[in-house]
Amino acid sequence: MNTEELIKKGNYFLDEKGYGVSLKIFEELLKNNPYEKDFLIKKGLCLIGLNRLDEAILYFDKALELDPQYEEALLYKAVNLNYLGRNEESLNSCEKLLKLDPQNKDAWNLKGDICYDLEQFDIALESYNEVLRINPNNQHAIVNKGAILANLGNLKESINNFDEVLKINPKNENALYNKAYALYAKGFYEEALNYFGDALKIQNTEKAWFNKGNCFMKLNYLNEAIKSFDETLKINPKNEYAILYKAQCLMEIGFNKEALSFINEALIENPKNVNILHIKGLCLTELNRLDEALNVFNNVLKLAPNFAIAWYNKGIALFKKEDYESAILAFEEAIDINPEYTSARINKAICLDKLGFIDQAIENYDQSLK
């Protein structure tokens, strides 16, 4: 097979995601043509397809040694570095490319994405605006610009951006999801649910199910929230907040035993997760298993001594045991960590009242009102 046929075959398998075959072909081509920069790039792309990302960068660098102005190599290197989380290096490659070609919308988009991840929102907005100057209908730039505006609190303008994309493509999952999230942030939970649902019809994502569950919680549709968190956990069983919120929903509808069973299962994978342990303590308190609850809170506080709410809930369990002196000490720990902890001050005042220290109780209650 001649060189031209091998190139055609290698490109075919690369396009069809047959990365192993394509890699073998381009390696064979490189034996006879070690300085052919296009073959180096293709080998790098094959390695990306095989998830050998660090190796891929080596071949983009080799291509750039041959031609430092090779725009394609700079772009692929920047994209790959971004996948690896090496944002500053990726940004550096973008900047080099944009000096060579200020009209390269892919480089501007990537620069925007990197700066968005780094929370450099002003630079990200400038980058997406450059993309839109080159191509006013670039959906990626419009959606991400809208997401940044939402992060900056400009929800109305962000929703306008998402609507603009949805006019172009009503099935743009990112636009649907981000519009839903902006509506959620504005408190329009029913409307947000519709858009999360539309996004999920296109792509079954963890984030959409999770935020759909949050909407149901805000609307107090707790059984529906539990179903959404279950779907979240099917995709990612380690989603900590889905675990916490599902447990919270189960407790709020009175299914404390079921919540405890669910929490115990979660703790098999995360035995030292203080947030999950803490909600176990809450659940045990609700079940009036106070000694067990106190043991859990003590374990939490060994792991996280400055966890104010754990001190507070330890105080609540001690209060239920009528150990008012110990409860006061727990509430004081919570107040030391967070001097504005009103509930802790009020409950400390109630404990003082129970012990007959009326003047101190009044003083603590008055402090809680300041």
| The pLDDT value given to residue 364 | 77
**N- to C-terminal Cα distance for the chain?**
85
Q: Which residues contact 153 (CB under 8 A, 6 or more apart)?
A: none
Query: Which residue ranges make up each domain of the chain?
Result: 1-67
CA separation, residue 34 to residues 30, 63, 102, 237, 263 (Å):
5, 10, 31, 46, 58
What dotted CATH number matches 1-67?
1.25.40.10
pTM for the model stands at 0.79
C-alpha triplet 5, 11, 15: angle, nearest 5°: 145
Q: What share of the chain is helix, strand, coil (3-state, %, to 5)?
A: 80, 0, 20
| The pLDDT value given to residue 46 | 95
Residues 296, 281: contact at Cβ < 8 Å?
yes
- The crossing angle, in degrees rounded to 10, of helices 290-303 and 274-286 is 160
| The pLDDT value given to residue 151 | 87
262-278: b or e for each residue (b if 16 or more CB lie within 10 Å)?
bbeebeeeeeebbbbbb
Residues 302, 278: contact at Cβ < 8 Å?
no
Residue spans of beta strands (DSSP E) within 281-325: none
- The crossing angle, in degrees rounded to 10, of helices 308-320 and 342-354 is 30
Q: Which residues contact 189 (CB under 8 A, 6 or more apart)?
A: 183, 215, 218, 219
**Separation of CA 122 from chain center:** 21
**Separation of CA 71 from chain center:** 32
Grouped pLDDT means (10 residues each) for the chain, 370 residues = 86 92 92 91 94 93 94 94 93 95 96 94 95 94 94 91 94 95 94 97 97 97 98 96 97 96 93 96 97 98 97 98 96 95 94 90 78
Q: Which residues contact 60 (CB under 8 A, 6 or more apart)?
A: 40, 41, 44, 73, 74, 76, 77, 80
Q: Compute how many other C-beta atoms are within 10 angstroms of the C-beta atom of residue 330.
A: 27
Residues 41, 73: contact at Cβ < 8 Å?
yes
Place of tokens 């490659």: 93
CA separation, residue 298 to residues 81, 291, 292 (Å):
44, 11, 10
